[in-house]
Amino acid sequence: MTGLVHYLSPHAVGTVDVALWDIAGKAAGLPVHRLLGTCRDRIPAYFSSAHHATAAEYADEAVYWREQGWRGYKVHAPRGPWLPPGSAPPVAFDVAACAAVRSAVGDGMTLMLDSVWSYDYPQALTVGQAIQDLGYFWYEDPLPDHDIHGYQRLARKLSIPLLATEITPGGLTALPPWITAGATDFLRGDVVIKGGITGLLKIAHLAEAFGMNCEVHDSYNSLNNVAARHVMMAIDNCDWLEVLAFNRSGDHSLAHFSYGLTEPFRVDPEGNVHAPAGPGLGAGIDWDLINSSVTAVVS
């Protein structure tokens, strides 16, 4: 399938790859991370925010998760290339939100900013300089995903680490130019659009060879997030598990992280998510829920 990537969606490759690893783990009676080579049994989670209308809403959300024992929080700037032109606030809002969060949680919480590919270069430089002064841990996707040159320019001007390559087309083979150009400080990957567990593992090993982290992105649904967690337990160059909720202000539910599964998603009081323990992916499927949604069966 990988040899047919010009004709197949990478989502199809990733889906089949995850299923095959699940089968292999169940056949061996071992969790997938044991087949990959377990190096740890837990990883800290960070909360990845929705788009909020005020700086105070970001700050309140970050405080809530800090009080639950979580050690990281990421601001999603209220913008995106999918929004109508002119609908986002000025970039000064993003800086104000980042400052409000830092003021609210203090220096003990790790903070990140994801600007969802939405700045031009001058905007990206202005915001980057501001958040590096605020002690943010990384600066994610400030420029369009194809703009390697712009990321090189930012890297020369900023000391805060850049995190790009989330949606670069081509999987593993698209990433060496970003490394050799010095256009990103971390690589990004997931099990959905980067070729499944196999693809994500290759990206993590590529990053390791260059002394870089591979920070794993949210994998779009509950079962894929379980699959990604297996990879995280088998690599030591990923520091965080992303919990991407996109909840409205004041909504702290994480129920969608368990949707379709029999076991709830859990973060321990120290803010860690633990390795799956069962064979294969180790996730029970809620077939009652799935079957209740069936509208027709075609034979």
pLDDT of residue 251: 94
* pLDDT tens per residue across span 74-110: 999 999 999 998 999 999 999 999 999 999 999 999 9
Start-to-end Cα distance in the chain? 27
Question: Would you place residue 157 in the very low, low, confident or very high pLDDT band (cuts 50, 70, 90)?
Answer: very high
* pLDDT tens per residue across span 115-135: 999 999 999 999 999 999 999
Question: Would you place residue 159 in the very low, low, confident or very high pLDDT band (cuts 50, 70, 90)?
Answer: very high
Question: CB count, 10 Å around CB of 167?
Answer: 15
Flag whether 253 is in a domain.
yes
pLDDT of residue 10: 81
Rg of the Cα atoms in the chain: 19
pLDDT of residue 7: 86
The phi and psi torsions of 251 (rounded to 5 degrees) equal -95, 115
Q: How far is CA 197 from CA 37, 50, 122, in A?
A: 13, 27, 37
* pLDDT tens per residue across span 169-215: 778 999 999 999 999 999 999 999 999 999 999 999 999 999 999 99
Q: Which whole number is the average pLDDT over 37-54?
A: 97
Asked whether 80 and 142 are in contact (CB, 8 A), the reply is: no
Rounded to the nearest angstrom, the gap between the alpha carbon of residue 92 and the centroid of all alpha carbons in its chain is 25
Flag whether 118 is in a domain.
yes
Question: Would you place residue 299 in the very low, low, confident or very high pLDDT band (cuts 50, 70, 90)?
Answer: confident
Asked whether 234 and 198 are in contact (CB, 8 A), the reply is: no
Report whether pLDDT(234) > 90: yes
Report whether pLDDT(5) > 80: no
Task: For residue 128, give the CATH number of its domain.
Answer: 3.20.20.120
Flag whether 299 is in a domain.
no
Question: CB count, 10 Å around CB of 186?
Answer: 19
* pLDDT tens per residue across span 56-76: 999 999 999 999 999 999 999
Q: Which whole number is the average pLDDT over 226-242?
A: 98
Please list the helix, strand and coil fractions of the chain in percent, rounded to the nearest 5, in that order: 40, 15, 45
**Distance between CA atoms of residues 113 and 141, nearest Å:** 9
pLDDT of residue 62: 98
What is the count of structural domains for the chain?
A: 1
**Could you tell me where the DSSP H helices lie in 142-195?**
148-157, 176-180
Question: Would you place residue 36 in the very low, low, confident or very high pLDDT band (cuts 50, 70, 90)?
Answer: very high
Q: What residue numbers bound the domain in which 136 lies?
A: 2-292
Q: Which amino acid is at 13?
A: V
pLDDT of residue 2: 81
Flag whether 297 is in a domain.
no
Asked whether 156 and 179 are in contact (CB, 8 A), the reply is: no
Report whether pLDDT(41) > 80: yes
**Distance between CA atoms of residues 4 and 186, nearest Å:** 28
